[in-house]
């Protein structure tokens, strides 16, 4: 992040950190609660047998420097119910957070407090296109990226605006004087997400799903049926196919749309194994019931989740459940934003519901969600290199997914912008068929180290297609 916090900011007596702090009550705003807030507060009071929950805590003033006009807001250290993932949200989804967000958390296992960690503040670019029904629902909020911290029961937060421009304090009131900081968005809240456990009745990924379909909810049945023909109802994993069976599958899925040449020599990579939503434990009651589709998948946008790398691959389903709950309950999206996710061990997961072989419209690259698919590598890859397993998984996934639509991973194509901070709405933009998020939006995503691997990904994906 851009600023450096003075060591005096947010300093709290060490004795206070050692005390058994009382869990906070649900805080209420003076303003009426939004739909998203009402859902969040309902989740906080949900019965203990309901998997997953979100605690939503308003941020308040901590310090104020009159000379610089800087107001620091946040939360003093406090005990909270167990959570594993956090983020900060605010009322206006169009407002940017020009500042630095830092958190420290208390681990359940050891009772020790972590060092201060930065939270990625630029996350608005992972969102639905401006003016789309999803963006215009009235439920959408601005937000930081989610940060995975592991199971915790204490938290402290500090947010300081960037210095250097006239601005306002956290309430939105203008402050006089040159060098004052820009305003922080109004209605800032800390979201603490407990991803919950996967359905106890669900078999582990790869195990048989026989007899499970009858116990599925209506939402789970619909999500499972969207993958009909790829896996049986209730399956936790869509199995990998070899090259020949994948070509046969392509003719079954898209036969009427294929040319004679495509039928004779289809360029498509072997289908990789994909963990379904049932496999990672999606609570299908959270998302909107209907699925949304776009036309043709012409571009695959590669992302990172910017959630940190402090996770094990066995924890990846928990992270995805956390992202899902954060995207829907905290940010107000209709479903998780990404179409696919990949963990650092190279395992691939189904993201937004609607069918992995279908052109499901996501909320991953503002302005370019139509005719594209979004693939997120779990973790932060600005300074850390992605694993070879993860790069290979992205290559295999794009070779298959783009092959379903006849796209060459090494080629370029055109998409029409739906609006964003790089391209005006309606502008035709030439993009690589495999692009990084930053190619469609002014963002650091998918991190410099992952972005540098996209050339390798294009070559490998084309090779898997037989080109």
What pLDDT sits at residue 251?
84
What pLDDT sits at residue 355?
97
User: What residue segments make up the domains of the chain, in order of their start?
Assistant: 14-194, 213-464
368: DSSP letter: -
Percent of all residues in the chain with a pLDDT value above 90, rounded to a whole number: 64
Chain centre to alpha carbon of residue 333 = 11
Q: What is the pLDDT of residues 244-299, one digit of tens each?
A: 999 888 888 777 777 777 777 789 999 999 999 999 999 999 999 999 999 999 99
Q: What is the pLDDT of residues 326-340, one digit of tens each?
A: 999 999 999 999 999
Following CA atoms 152, 205, 393, 225 in sequence, which dihedral angle do they give, to the nearest 10 degrees? -110
Most confident option among 19-33, 124-138, 207-221, 361-375: 361-375
Which secondary-structure segment (H or E) carries 455? helix 454-464
Chain mean pLDDT for the chain? 83
Most confident option among 201-205, 238-242, 255-259: 238-242
214: confidence class by pLDDT, cuts 50, 70, 90: low
Rounded CA-CA distance 368/329 in Å is 23
What pLDDT sits at residue 409?
98
What pLDDT sits at residue 166?
40
Residue 414 has pLDDT above 70, yes or no: yes
Residue 323 has pLDDT above 90, yes or no: yes
Rounded CA-CA distance 54/43 in Å is 6
Q: What is the pLDDT of residues 182-199, one digit of tens each?
A: 689 999 999 999 999 875
Q: How far is CA 82 from CA 27, 36, 53, 94, 155, in A?
A: 17, 21, 9, 31, 10
| Beta-carbon contacts of residue 26 (< 8 Å; ≥ 6 apart) | 41, 44, 45, 55, 56
Residue 153 has pLDDT above 90, yes or no: yes
Cis peptide before 117 (omega within 30 of 0): no
168-174 mean pLDDT: 37
30-54 mean pLDDT: 47
299's tokens: 């571009």
| Beta-carbon contacts of residue 388 (< 8 Å; ≥ 6 apart) | none
CA neighbor of 283 nearest in space, from 13, 54, 31, 460: 54
41: confidence class by pLDDT, cuts 50, 70, 90: very low
- Specify the higher pLDDT residue, 67 or 155: 155
Domain 213-464 has CATH 3.40.50.300: no
Cβ atoms within 10 Å, residue 273:
15
What pLDDT sits at residue 37?
41
Q: What is the pLDDT of residues 116-150, one digit of tens each?
A: 999 999 776 677 878 888 988 889 999 999 999 99
38: confidence class by pLDDT, cuts 50, 70, 90: very low
Rounded CA-CA distance 148/127 in Å is 20
11: confidence class by pLDDT, cuts 50, 70, 90: very low
137-165 mean pLDDT: 90
């Amino acid at each position: 992040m851009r600023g450096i916090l003075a060591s005096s900011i947010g300093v709290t007596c060490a004795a206070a950190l050692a005390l058994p702090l009382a869990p906070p009550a649900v805080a209420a705003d003076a303003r009426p609660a939004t739909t998203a807030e009402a859902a969040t507060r309902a989740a906080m009071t949900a019965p203990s047998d309901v998997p997953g929950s979100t605690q939503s805590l308003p941020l308040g003033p901590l310090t104020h420097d009159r000379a610089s006009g800087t107001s620091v807001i946040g939360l003093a250290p406090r005990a909270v119910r167990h959570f594993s993932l956090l983020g900060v949200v605010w009322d206006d989804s169009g407002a940017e957070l020009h500042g630095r967000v830092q958190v420290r958390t208390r681990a359940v296992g050891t009772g020790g407090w972590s060092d201060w960690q930065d939270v990625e503040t630029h996350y608005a670019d992972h969102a639905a296109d401006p003016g789309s029904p999803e963006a215009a629902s009235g439920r959408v909020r601005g937000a930081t990226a989610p940060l995975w911290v592991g199971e915790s029961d204490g938290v402290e937060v500090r947010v300081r605006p960037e210095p250097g421009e006239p601005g306002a304090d956290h309430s939105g009131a203008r402050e006089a004087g040159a060098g004052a900081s820009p305003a922080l968005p109004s209605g800032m809240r800390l979201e603490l997400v407990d991803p919950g456990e996967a359905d106890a009745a669900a078999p582990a990924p790869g195990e048989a799903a026989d007899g499970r379909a009858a116990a599925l909810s209506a939402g789970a049945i619909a999500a499972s049926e969207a993958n009909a023909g790829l896996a049986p109802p209730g399956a936790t994993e869509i199995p990998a196919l070899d090259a020949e069976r994948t070509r046969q599958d392509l003719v079954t899925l898209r036969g009427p749309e294929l040319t004679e040449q495509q039928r004779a020599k289809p360029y498509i990579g072997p289908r990789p194994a994909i963990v379904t939503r049932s496999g990672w434990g999606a609570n299908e009651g959270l998302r909107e019931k209907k699925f949304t589709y776009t036309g043709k998948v012409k571009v695959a946008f590669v992302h990172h989740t910017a959630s940190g790398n402090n996770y094990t691959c066995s924890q990846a389903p928990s992270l995805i459940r956390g992202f899902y709950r954060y995207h829907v309950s905290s940010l107000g999206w209709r479903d998780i934003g990404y179409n696919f996710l990949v963990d650092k061990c190279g395992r691939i997961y189904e993201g937004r519901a609607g069918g992995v072989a279908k052109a499901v419209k996501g909320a991953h690259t503002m302005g370019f969600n139509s005719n594209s698919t979004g693939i997120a590598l779990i973790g932060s890859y600005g300074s850390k290199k992605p694993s070879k397993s993860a790069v290979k998984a992205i290559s295999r996934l794009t070779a298959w997914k783009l092959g379903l639509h006849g796209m060459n991973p090494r080629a370029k194509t055109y998409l029409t912008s739906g609006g964003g901070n790089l391209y005006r709405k309606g502008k035709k933009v030439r993009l690589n068929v495999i692009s990084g998020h930053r190619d469609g939006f002014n963002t650091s995503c998918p991190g410099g180290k992952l972005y540098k691997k996209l050339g390798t990904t294009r070559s490998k994906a084309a090779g898997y297609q037989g080109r």
